[in-house]
Amino acid sequence: MDDIDTPLLMAGGRLEIDLGALADNFRSIAARVAPARAAAVVKANGYGLGATRAAAALAEAGCRDFFVAHLAEALAVRAALPGDATLAVLNGLPSGAERPCADAGIVPVLNSVEQAMRWRDTAAALGHALPAIVQVDSGMSRLGMTVEEAAMLAADASFTARVPVTLVMSHLACADTPDHPANAAQRDRFIAAAALFPQARRSLANSGGVFLPAAYHFDLVRPGVALYGGAPNDRGANPMRPVIRLDARVIQCRSIGAGDGVGYGLSFAATGETRIATIGVGYADGLPRTLGNRGAAWFNGVRLPIAGRVSMDSITLDISALPDGALAAGDWVELIGPHQALDDLARDAGTISYEILTSLGHRYHRTYRNGDLKGQAEGA
């Protein structure tokens, strides 16, 4: 038949990525924070969804400020961006990486005085100024300079003459809990530190920070997981559009009797006649073992609990709630979609949406869609 999708036939799961929803999420955030600008974080291969595809869709939606974690990620995504876009490396540069970064027109986030001095020396060797972003630690104790180190840098004429600081940034540790007192404390420390570079734009808010009051938005916000459909905080309904749908193929259905065990360790035991379906995805595909005996799939609006442990390539479901014969080998069950949101699956696994997204494996048949436009398989 002409409509047979051979790659789909060979996959145990299918992952649909809606680039139109991704773009809508960006536009929604941009409208919320205006007159501040909205950037996009496309690190970790675009949160597992494909950095070049995501970056191109976000650029089409109007984004011009992009962040990744490592220089290798920046070099991989640069060609997908328009010439007027800025691409920055959040983790800064290891020694020796300055020249390829400068040659590619990529902007480092300087997290230490040592990084700053190497970037200054590269600008001197090249004979022209090299812009940079300075990160200050406002209380997360992860990356960034102390206020004292930033003050020393701001007073160093050999640095300021060669390195225009275009942005001062920091990162909120507790923005997903809006009333956490650390948010205001970090904001106040950040304001004091950013004043050392009065000519630079300021950026503090991540996805959670976008939904804090405007006093946290400054000149630029840096959403990540919210763009990809993850809930930005722990309050109320998720305001973001879902970006992914994940389904798994049924391999086999069987009936077992009372006392029969299922899966490794036989951690599930049937209390009576039970029907079991095995689906062709597992922890090698990014579905955590912690979903065993806790998570579920859905079919025709019916929740199908995971029975037993998650295996590398398969998961067993208790399908006894379905009419006999309603589910058969070759059918698809929903893992993330209308009945089970990304954050629901993450909750059942005892983790966060970030980890689920960035763990999605390479074995899924991936289809990219742009709103109502026809989908395009990966690599097509």
Q: Which residues are tagged catalytic?
A: 43, 264
- Bridge partners of residue 14, in order along the sequence: 247, 365
C-alpha 13, offset from chain centre: 20
Give me the half-sphere count of Cα atoms (radius 13 Å) on the Cβ side of residue 27: 11
Backbone angles phi, psi at 372, to 5 degrees: -90, 0
Please report, as a single letter, which amino acid is at residue 216.
Answer: Y
Locate tokens 């893992």: which residue?
335
Q: Which two tokens stand for residue 122?
A: 């590269």
What is the number of other CB atoms lying within 10 angstroms of the CB of residue 302? 16
Nearest to 13 by CA among 361, 378, 369: 361
Spatial neighbors of 148 by CB under 8 A, at least 6 apart, are none
Please report, as a single letter, which amino acid is at residue 230.
Answer: G
Nearest to 297 by CA among 312, 284, 73, 282: 282
Alpha helices in the chain (DSSP H): 6-9, 19-33, 43-47, 51-60, 71-77, 98-103, 113-126, 147-154, 157-160, 181-194, 207-210, 342-348, 353-359
Burial 23-35, CB ≥16 within 10 A → b, else e: bbbbebbbebbee
Q: Cis bond leading into 7, ω under 30°?
A: no
Cα Rg of the chain, angstroms: 24
First to last CA, the chain: 19
**Helix (H) or strand (E) run with residue 300 in it:** none
